Amino acid sequence: MAHIIVCGNEKGGSGKSTVTMHVATALVRMGFSVGGMDLDLRQRTFGHYVENRQSYAKSQNVELPCPEIAELPEIDEGQLSPGENIYDVRLSTAVAGLEQRCDFVVIDCPGSHTRLSQVAHSLADTLITPMNDSFVDFDLLAKRDPINGNIEGPSVYSEMVWNARQLRSQAGLDPIDWIVLRNRLGAQNMHNKKKVGDALDELSTRIGFRVAPGFNERVIFRELFPRGLTLLDLKDVGVQQMNLSNVAARQELRELMKSLKLPGVTVNF
């Protein structure tokens, strides 16, 4: 059965689709078969990324390994059992199909609280939550005392992950390995960076996640989207020499992939 990786955070624009594209591409490039699902049915960033990749490979006549994107199948409502939710059935049917033929299934969630996203979280063997390096994003993970900064308790998104964990444990499934990743880190605002880092470290032990090395703010993480590429593909499309920032980006992606500790994966790029 495939290992399921879900990228989620209710906070919009935190880097879910960017991380999904990079993790999925890293896995296909390492030779794994990867199924993908885009649960952001409106934006479809991850779906478009893979479509761009297929079109680019075809038009340039290059071989690029691609994730296999599955859509939610149409289900006849008449076939549902009493109390069964149609979205749950559509999602689990699609994931069950991919699970049969893939090593990994990578699922991108929308930046909002939807039924589909909720169910996807309960399917996650690994959950990756990217966040901007900001207390505005931290607010979805935990409430903090405004005066002394002490953590007062989990917030909406952590509670949703908690519920997903409960559901998995009731179903006898392995616990979710939850990884929080700081995204778009900058060279400035060192004071804020340290404060967010310290708060995350404290919270990680309280609510049970691991903090992974993050991505810095880098153009290379976004500029290749129209061609459906990541920095790992550059050699195949004729770029022989990477600049220093791109080399550093590859190092960041490598460190993320290592820290995910995915079964059977030895990071080799």
Ligand X SMILES: Nc1ncnc2c1ncn2[C@@H]1O[C@H](COP(=O)(O)OP(=O)(O)OP(=O)(O)O)[C@@H](O)[C@H]1O
Site residues (CB under 5 A) for Mg ion?
Answer: 16-17, 45
Does the protein bind ligand X through residue 29 (CB under 6 A)? no
For residue 13, the partner it binds in Mg ion, ligand X, none, with Cβ less than 5 to 8 A by kind, is: ligand X
Does the protein bind ligand X through residue 15 (CB under 6 A)? yes
Residue found under tokens 């992939």:
257
Distance, CA of 206 to CA of 200 (rounded, Å):
10
How far, CA to CA in Å, does 47 sit from each of 19, 86, 112?
13, 22, 18
Does the protein bind ligand X through residue 18 (CB under 6 A)? yes
Does the protein bind ligand X through residue 223 (CB under 6 A)? no
Distance, CA of 18 to CA of 28 (rounded, Å):
16
For residue 184, the partner it binds in Mg ion, ligand X, none, with Cβ less than 5 to 8 A by kind, is: ligand X
Does the protein bind ligand X through residue 184 (CB under 6 A)? yes
- In angstroms, give the least distance from the CB of 45 to Mg ion: 5
Does the protein bind ligand X through residue 40 (CB under 6 A)? yes
- In angstroms, give the least distance from the CB of 220 to ligand X: 8
> Which of 68, 22, 62, 14 is closest to 225 using CA atoms?
22
Does the protein bind ligand X through residue 45 (CB under 6 A)? yes
Helices within the chain (DSSP H only): 16-29, 45-60, 86-101, 115-123, 135-138, 156-170, 190-207, 220-223, 244-260
Binding mask 83-122 for ligand X (x = CB under 6 A): ---------------------------xx-----------
- The span of 12-20, 165-173, 194-202, 259-267 binding ligand X (CB under 6 A) equals 12-20
Q: Is 139 exposed, middle or buried (0-12, 13-18, 19+ CB in 10 A)?
A: middle
Which residue sits closest to Mg ion, CB atoms considered? 17
For residue 65, the partner it binds in Mg ion, ligand X, none, with Cβ less than 5 to 8 A by kind, is: none
> Which of 235, 260, 230, 263 is closest to 26 using CA atoms?
230
Q: Give the count of residues interacting with ligand X (CB under 6 A).
A: 19
- In angstroms, give the least distance from the CB of 128 to ligand X: 11
Among 222, 245, 251, 263, contact with ligand X (rule: CB under 6 A): 222
Q: What is the dihedral of CA 226, 229, 234, 239, to 10 degrees?
A: -20
Pairing between strand 151-154 and 142-144?
Answer: antiparallel
Is 217 in contact with 134 (CB distance < 8 Å)? no
Does the protein bind ligand X through residue 221 (CB under 6 A)? yes
Instruction: Calculate helix-pair angle for 45-60, 16-29, nearest 10 degrees.
Output: 40
- In angstroms, give the least distance from the CB of 53 to Mg ion: 16
Site for ligand X, rule CB under 6 A = 12-18, 40, 43, 45, 110-111, 183-184, 215, 217-218, 221-222
